[in-house]
Amino acid sequence: MVTVLGQNQYGKAEVRIVRVSRDTVPHRVKDLTVGIALSGDLAATHLTGDNSAVLPTDTAKNTVYALARQHGIACIEEYGGLLARHFVDTQPAIHRARVRIEEYGWSPIASPAFPHSFVRDGGEVRTTEVVRDGSGLRIVSGVTGLIVMNTTASEFRGYVKDRYTTLRETSDRVLATEVNARWHLVAGGDGMSADDFDTSYTRTRRHLLDAFAQTYSLSLQQTLYAMGHHVLENHPETDEIRLSMPNKHHFLVDLEPFGQKNDNEVYFAADRPYGLIEGTVHREGVTPVIPVD
């Protein structure tokens, strides 16, 4: 039997990059997932294992970061063209480069006083859990998938260190999380109309965002408590709120090997593993009723 090599390509998939521009008010965030596929005179690597024409996929990943730092990201079409031209123009064996980019939008949370605080557009889900038993009606409202980020005004230091600790202390970091919150309405929301429930949800969401933006964070735990406290302080119809907030880590990319400085501008957005911070904030004397998952 005779076989031949057909169409082939290779590249790097799902390169996560966050580019922060701090010279505007508010800060400008470009949050992308980039996929690269390269093809050309690459038969030898398949047929004989000769890699002399192969640009490593790790190099392709590094190129995504380096060109973002060097040229910025005005829009994904322009940035995609920059990447595609780079691979074809600099690699003799590469005749075709396909670049696919997904962009995730972010909107400022608050006023110009907090230019570093953002909420990701779309994706959040409003929830409720209603229980009727012998003690009456219990209503727990909530939101999941509310993704927020501070591009600065966050640090993490002074923590316990043992022989396995490698994490470095930082006085300036990106703080990003997904807010998953549930709050208990006093007396089962007795007397509240549909409009009242809608208004309560909108106001609670707003106060969660305001507290996230206004809190200078020394830890995600501190931010969680500040958000819960702010909701209860402004919502007499709520007596308890439970928050679950994963720490969506953003790591600075080391661009020194490419002769570039990275002054808190280009990040790798990791999706796992992640720290998970959870806690309940309730009024004094109230027995919590929201279950712990």
Please identify every residue annotated as catalytic. Answer: 12, 57, 249
Q: 184: which strand partners? A: 140, 240
**The pair of three-digit structure tokens given for residue 224, joined into one six-digit string:** 């969680």
d(Cα 39, Cα 34) in Å, to the nearest integer? 17
Q: Which residue has the tokens 């005749």?
A: 95
d(Cα 94, Cα 59) in Å, to the nearest integer? 14
Residues in the chain: 293
**The pair of three-digit structure tokens given for residue 199, joined into one six-digit string:** 């208004």
Cα–Cα–Cα angle for 35, 39, 44, rounded to 5 degrees: 130
Q: Are residues 1 and 18 in contact, defined by beta-carbon separation less than 8 angstroms?
A: no
Does the CA dihedral 33-107-126-226 come out positive or negative?
A: positive
d(Cα 120, Cα 34) in Å, to the nearest integer? 18
Q: Are residues 182 and 141 in contact, defined by beta-carbon separation less than 8 angstroms?
A: yes
CA-closest candidate to residue 186, choices 196, 177, 176: 196
